[in-house]
């Protein structure tokens, strides 16, 4: 493997890590307020509040747990590659699709489109990085270094 190919592969792995961390921070910017002040947070997005704050807090807590599982791949993508693929499909893809269908298909509040767009954007950026990484690895393995 040439130094140029190794450098290019390292850059794409770094970029993937940055994309994942941006997604984690965006998740936390949504889920921490849901845990601390659920009614206020829902009101900001125009989402009608239920009689209880249990469900928004549960969603916030589960989003924290999901986000924690995104962290290992940012430290060692080679070791935790499966987490990287699972973060795209089903995790972020399902989240974006579910929320989009809820709003467009079933008439839920438009505020649910915000996390849908965030999930879709992070999923697409992460997928692009992973595809570039896999292609570079294949080129290196085959001796066709295209950096």
Six token digits for residue 125: 């950026």
Residue 1: the pLDDT is: 56
CB-side exposure of 144: number of CA atoms within 13 Å? Answer: 5
Q: What is the pLDDT along the chain (147 residues), one digit of tens a residue?
A: 577 888 999 999 999 999 999 999 999 999 999 999 999 999 999 999 877 899 999 999 999 999 999 999 999 999 999 999 999 999 999 999 999 999 999 999 999 999 999 999 999 999 999 999 999 999 999 988 654
**Distance, CA of 138 to CA of 134 (rounded, Å):** 6
**Token representation of residue 21:** 């961390």
What pLDDT score does 143 carry? 86
Q: Which residue has the tokens 């450098």?
A: 7
Domain positions in the chain: 3-141
Phi, psi of 135 (to 5 degrees): -65, -40
């Amino acid at each position: 493997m040439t130094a140029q190919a190794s450098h290019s592969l390292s850059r794409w792995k770094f970029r993937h890590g940055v994309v994942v961390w941006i997604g984690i921070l965006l998740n936390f910017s949504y889920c921490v307020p849901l845990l601390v002040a659920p009614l206020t947070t829902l009101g900001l997005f125009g989402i009608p509040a239920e009689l209880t704050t249990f469900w928004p807090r549960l969603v916030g807590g589960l989003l924290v747990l999901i986000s924690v599982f995104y962290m290992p791949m940012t430290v060692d993508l080679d070791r935790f590659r499966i987490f990287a693929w699972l973060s795209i499909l089903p995790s972020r893809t399902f989240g974006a699709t579910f929320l989009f269908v809820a709003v467009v298909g079933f008439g839920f509040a438009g505020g649910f489109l915000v996390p849908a767009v965030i999930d879709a954007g992070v999923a697409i950026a992460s997928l692009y990085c992973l595809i570039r990484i896999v292609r570079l690895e294949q080129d290196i393995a085959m001796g066709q270094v295209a950096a």
